[in-house]
Amino acid sequence: MSDGRLDMLRVAAGVLIEDERVLIARRLPDRREGLKWEFPGGKLEPGETPEECLVRELAEELGIEARVLGLLLTTVHTYVWGTIELLALRVERLAGEPAPRDHAELRWVAPAELARYDFTAADLAIVRALEPRS
């Protein structure tokens, strides 16, 4: 018997904004949701906080040292292969230049342009939260 949460994959995503642009990453073609755009991050390991996970993942995937500033939003999305809880965290880069170590490419994009990119379904909640308000 499960409460559903045990089967849910927990993922931390980093929202890094510099010079009024946000960093987005394109998934590798051979991965689930291949070539779609996302906010960089990854799966929480057992006993790891979302903040610890994100600092680790950004170092591994982008080669940067970052500090978590706070939670932007939490969303749950169910794909055909399973359900994820996505925790979007604002981050600040402390050192390093982002490089696509585990992605096809990286781009710095103005928040108003995010809707032009083909994001994973779970990441769309972050896109909506970052869109400029009129």
Per-residue pLDDT tens over the stretch 30-63: 988 889 999 999 999 999 999 999 999 999 999 9
Give me Rg for the CA atoms of the chain: 14
CB 22 within 8 A of CB 15: yes
Task: Look at residue 127 and tell me whether its pLDDT is greater than 50.
Answer: yes
pTM: 0.90
- The CATH architecture of the domain made up of 9-130 is Alpha-Beta Complex (3.90)
43 three-state secondary structure: strand
131 pLDDT exceeds 60?
A: yes
Q: Using one digit for the tens of pLDDT, what is the confidence trace for 16-29?
A: 999 999 999 999 99
